[in-house]
Amino acid sequence: MARIVMKFGGTSMAGTERIRRVANIVRRHQEAGHEVAVVVSAMAGETDRLVNFCREANALYDPAEYDVVVSSGEQVTSGLLALTLQSMGCKARSWLGWQLPMKTVEAHSKARVDNIDSEALISAMQSGEIAVIPGFQGVSMENRITTMGRGGSDTSAVAVAAAVKADRCDIYTDVDGVYTTDPRIVAKARKLKYVTYEEMLELASVGAKVLQTRSVSLAMKENVRIQVLSSFVDENAPLADDMPGTMIVSDDEMEDVDMERQLVTGIAHDKNESRVVLTRVPDQPGAVSSIFGPLADASINVDMIIQNVGRDKGETDVTFTVPQADLARAQALLEEKREAIGYNRIITDAHVAKISVVGVGMKSHAGVAATMFKTLADRGINVQAISTSEIKVSVLIDEDETELAVRVLHTAYGLDATDEAA
Amino acid sequence: MARIVMKFGGTSMAGTERIRRVANIVRRHQEAGHEVAVVVSAMAGETDRLVNFCREANALYDPAEYDVVVSSGEQVTSGLLALTLQSMGCKARSWLGWQLPMKTVEAHSKARVDNIDSEALISAMQSGEIAVIPGFQGVSMENRITTMGRGGSDTSAVAVAAAVKADRCDIYTDVDGVYTTDPRIVAKARKLKYVTYEEMLELASVGAKVLQTRSVSLAMKENVRIQVLSSFVDENAPLADDMPGTMIVSDDEMEDVDMERQLVTGIAHDKNESRVVLTRVPDQPGAVSSIFGPLADASINVDMIIQNVGRDKGETDVTFTVPQADLARAQALLEEKREAIGYNRIITDAHVAKISVVGVGMKSHAGVAATMFKTLADRGINVQAISTSEIKVSVLIDEDETELAVRVLHTAYGLDATDEAA
């Protein structure tokens, strides 16, 4: 017997037929003797519909009223799942954010969970009642509805799991786990049985979007074990207890379960970056902050930064990347500041990709970066920029070479599945 | 300066364009110096959509979870109206049922308002903030969301008006007031400037559906003045203060404003009744209760009842009406009980209409019923059944004669507009 939190996303909740399939999965786990809480997203497309209403009503919308509107999608699915579970003979009830209450702090529309009053919730779960909780929503100290940013239901689920001290938080998605790389690119990609929080964070932040990044940070902080697994399973599929998905765990647990782990866990790619080069920037104190200060003020997130050796004395080229969605805004801003910065030309290239090699194992092993550069060089792939962290090496390359780079790196680090594709 | 509650129905709230029109009406009244609360329905069609989801999820749905789901429609429109008002420079916020709180009692899905904590609401209104309140929803003593039955937003509005001691509750609809009869039948129908609560109740219960019946009962009990008026007006339309609609008021107020009032206020018709005749029922104690007991147990509402003089000694024909929607069920039930009741034949006729003459003035004047029977007889319209109350006389006639009957009665009681159609 365990206490588990299960979370289902919008695709799984899209319509009463799919909700019935979700209810079946929940019912099977309760019948296995578990205490169960379920966190649900809105039906796929519903939150977009509601956000559009808000934008039409008021372009500069008040986030407090925005939250009133957009939180309704999860309210609907939580009620419907409770009804469906009841129709199968299960005891179930919905607990809205303000009913728990799930108290949040900070701004509306990007609230953070502060605390959840778990006493009533735990006692309901212990009595055999399935607790159905709308994700994404909470309540502020002023008793107004709050929401936690798009994808916030993952974070809700982890917060609930921490509050009720769950043995596990099973996050059901439209993929069946976390892979060594994108299986659409590499047929020999393997599903990982375990991945650490830090690795998951790096994989998520470089484009392998399975979970909301914040949910992983919160799980790491609260030491909540997460399993990523598929909601598209039939009546005879193994229970989540059999660990059919990928477990996201602490470094410590990882050492216990996987002594012989690889140096590299996975290869991620991200085509949403753009490269910006400013030529002939004066090589003097304050030049860099005159570039990145205004970008930061405009909430444009700069990722990789390289300052090339200047061709002329006292001048240097500065290269950096920004999200493609922000490129036009960044360019306009930089052109406006041209005099102040004192650069010569601005060159932009949206046709780039960031490839990242991620693995907690590389902390203690040199040579991972060297292998990466050599592998790419052998195939004639030019590296335009590099950035590294303790458990990640990223390079910027031409977008057309994305698939080739991922494939050769996957092989080079010994990640290819042996017998059969996963 | 007055304190007013304004209520807008689903047709007026259907989409952001229409919500903008509503916001304009609200803004104009606030700018006129009033303290304003607005009660809103869900977008037209939305509650049906949500009810269908519930039915699909669980045919025997738990009303507590049903309320969680269906209350979301009004939550959305209240947030959107607050946003739209803000976009016009007004101070506005939404107050959900649980935030006020609007405490309700009795069953989920048909809750009744018990009390509204109006202190915070009044203080917000006094500060110049427009209070936007979702109709239809409240919160139970157990802190669960409740709803008040279809059309419950009218009742919410009246309850809010009573709680904040509003000078007036303006209910905006897709008609511009209450008429002496259906203007689609009688071109010379006149819009009434005033109507009493009792008259409105009789008009509503016999088919002139403008307001939810319960809202009128509540207004009568709490002495809330209601104005029915059109939400489909332009920027230059008169304010509600100029009383462009129909005021629903107490007998006392009516005497003050309309000393010379007519005997008859309006003519209503209802084609949703069916006639049932049971022939040769034993004329003995208990016979009637053996008929109407089972119908009441099945929640079939019997309206008019006539017991004819029996043709044979010891036997009688019993005629009564039931709603057309219940006719098949009533017939099946009566056939099942045939032996117990002891009747000979059952004859049903869905092709009937109930015509009612309503007016508080008839309390003190005889002759209203006589005028009705004579007017109909002069046109050869056969009266199949009669029922009366203090302020109403109703007759059952052949459905084909509905329009003719309404027209000749409208003229007979001097209700026709003189110069021009309203």
Beta bridge partners of A321: A275
Least confident of A29-33, B120-124, B279-283: B279-283
Q: Are residues B345 and B382 in the same domain?
A: yes
Cα radius of gyration (chain B): 24
**A353 shares a domain with A204:** no
The residue written with tokens 């929503």 in the block is: A137
Does B157 map to a domain?
yes
Q: Is the pLDDT of residue B422 over 50?
A: no
Distant-in-sequence, close-in-space partners of B219: CB < 8 Å, separation ≥ 6: B158, B161, B169, B197, B225, B226, B248
Domain at B291, CATH number: 3.30.2130.10
Q: Which of B232, B257, B282 is where one domain is finished?
A: B257
Containing structural domain, residue B33: 3-257
Residues A251 and A271 reside in one and the same domain: no
Using the 3D structure, point to which of A257, A278, A295 is the last residue of a domain.
A257
Distance from CA of A317 to the nearest CA of B (A): 45
pTM (predicted TM-score)? 0.85
How many C-beta atoms surround the C-beta of residue B285 within 10 A? 7
Same domain, yes or no, for A92 and A144?
yes
Cβ–Cβ below 8 Å for A79 and B93: no
* Span B17-26, pLDDT tens digits: 999 999 999 9
pLDDT at B166 over 50: yes
Confidence check: pLDDT of A266 > 60: yes
Q: Answer yes or no: is pLDDT of A128 > 50.
A: yes
In a domain, B252, yes or no: yes
List the single residue in A with minimal CA-CA distance to B134.
A68
Minimal CA separation from B153 to chain A, in Å: 18
Residues B305 and B395 in one domain: yes
Give me the pLDDT at residue A288, please.
Answer: 81
Q: Of all residues in chain B, what percent carry a pLDDT higher than 70?
A: 96
Q: Which of A207, A229, A257 is the last residue of a domain?
A: A257
Please return the burial class of A185, using the count of CB atoms within 10 Å of its CB with bins 0-12, 13-18 and 19+.
Answer: middle
B304 and B214 fall within a common domain: no
The dihedral built from the CA positions of residue B19, B24, B25 and B27, taken in this order, carries a sign that is positive
The CATH number of the domain holding residue B238 is: 3.40.1160.10
Cβ contacts (< 8 Å) between A89 and chain B: which residues?
none
| Residue pLDDT, tens place only, B28-49 | 999 999 999 999 999 999 999 9
In a domain, B200, yes or no: yes
Give the C-alpha separation, A356 to A119, whole Å: 43
- pLDDT score at A233: 83
The SS3 call for residue B166 is coil
pLDDT, tens digit (0-9, with 9 covering 90-100), for A182-227: 888 999 999 999 999 999 988 876 656 788 888 999 999 999 999 9
Residue B248's SS3 state is: strand
B72-86 tens-digit pLDDT? 999 999 999 999 999
Looking at the structure, tell me whether residues A65 and A170 fall in a common domain.
yes
**Percent of chain A whose pLDDT exceeds 90:** 69
Compute how many other C-beta atoms are within 10 angstroms of the C-beta atom of residue A312.
8
Q: Is residue B295, in this structure, part of any structural domain at all?
A: yes
Strand-strand pairing, A102-105 and A194-196: unpaired
Question: Would you tell me the crossing angle of helices B63-70 and B72-87 to the nearest 10 degrees?
Answer: 20
pLDDT of A248 strictly over 80: yes
A142-184 confidence digits (pLDDT tens):
999 999 987 899 999 999 999 999 999 999 998 889 999 988 8
Q: Do A69 and B83 touch (CB under 8 A)?
A: yes
Quick check: B127 contacting A, CB < 8 Å?
no
A130 neighbourhood in chain B, CB within 8 Å: none
Per the CB < 8 A criterion, the answer to whether A283 and A314 are in contact is yes
Asked if A392 and A303 sit in the same domain, the reply is yes
Least confident of A161-165, B325-329, B399-403: B325-329
For residues A240 and A346, membership in a common domain is answered with no
Confidence band of B206 (pLDDT split at 50, 70, 90) = low
Tell me, what DSSP letter sits at residue B77? Answer: H
* Residue A252 scores a pLDDT above 60: yes
**Each residue's pLDDT tens digit, B358-374:** 998 887 777 888 899 99
Instruction: Report yes or no: A264 at the B interface, CB cutoff 8 Å.
Output: no
Interface mutation target, options B58, B93, B140, chain A, most CBs of A under 10 Å: B58
CB contacts, 8 Å: A98 with chain B: 98
pLDDT digits (tens, 9 = 90+) for B44-74: 999 999 999 999 999 989 999 999 999 999 9
The answer to whether position B10 is within a domain reads yes
Instruction: Provide the number of structural domains found in chain A.
Output: 2
pLDDT for B315 equals: 85
Predicted confidence band at B307 (pLDDT cuts at 50, 70, 90)? confident
C-beta separation of A368 from A264 below 8 A:
yes
Task: Kindly list the residues from chain B whose CB atom is less than 8 angstroms away from the CB atom of residue A84.
Answer: 57-58
- Please determine, for residue B15, whether its predicted confidence score (pLDDT) is greater than 60: yes
pLDDT at position B260 over 70: no
**A·B CB contacts under 8 A:** 117
Confidence of residue A309 (pLDDT cuts 50, 70, 90): low
From the list A126, A121, A147, A133, the residue with the least C-alpha distance to A94 is A133
Within-domain flag for B285: yes
Q: Are residues B159 and B137 in the same domain?
A: yes
Asked whether the predicted pLDDT for residue B195 surpasses 60, the reply is yes
Q: What is the mean pLDDT of chain B?
A: 91
Are residues A235 and A189 part of one domain?
yes
Q: Are residues B274 and B321 in the same domain?
A: yes
For the segment A344-382, what is each residue's pLDDT rounded down to a tens digit?
Answer: 999 999 999 999 999 988 877 778 888 999 999 999 999
- The answer, yes or no, to whether residue A126 has pLDDT greater than 70, is yes
